[in-house]
């Protein structure tokens, strides 16, 4: 993955933040990556969500892809 995208480490002040919102910009990616990355991201997030729901109280998972019509067209 490092050859395709730049992985940016979290800033220390955000590590303890239990925010349920993550923003990932695909602005600097080529069209092929813009089509593939949301699918991989959704798969990994959902797999993690599924694992957590086996142990904890049931929670919902929502994935919003802003401007998806531009990415997937």
Residue that has been written with the tokens 């729901």 in this structure: 53
Q: Would the pTM of this model clear 0.85, i.e. be above it?
A: no
Q: What is the pLDDT of residue 4?
A: 62
Report how far apart the first and last C-alpha atoms of the chain are (Å, whole number): 23
Rounded to 5 degrees, what are φ and ψ at 18?
-95, 45
The one-digit pLDDT tens for each residue of the chain (73 residues) are 556 666 666 555 545 556 677 778 888 888 888 888 888 888 888 888 888 888 777 788 888 877 767 666 6
Q: What is the pLDDT of residue 66?
A: 77
């Amino acid at each position: 993955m490092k050859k395709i995208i730049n992985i940016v480490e979290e800033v220390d002040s955000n590590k303890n933040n239990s925010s349920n919102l993550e923003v990932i910009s695909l602005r600097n990616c080529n069209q092929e990556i813009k089509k593939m990355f949301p699918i991989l991201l959704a798969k990994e997030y959902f797999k993690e969500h599924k694992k957590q729901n086996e142990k904890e109280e049931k929670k919902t998972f929502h994935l919003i892809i802003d401007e998806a019509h531009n990415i997937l067209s």
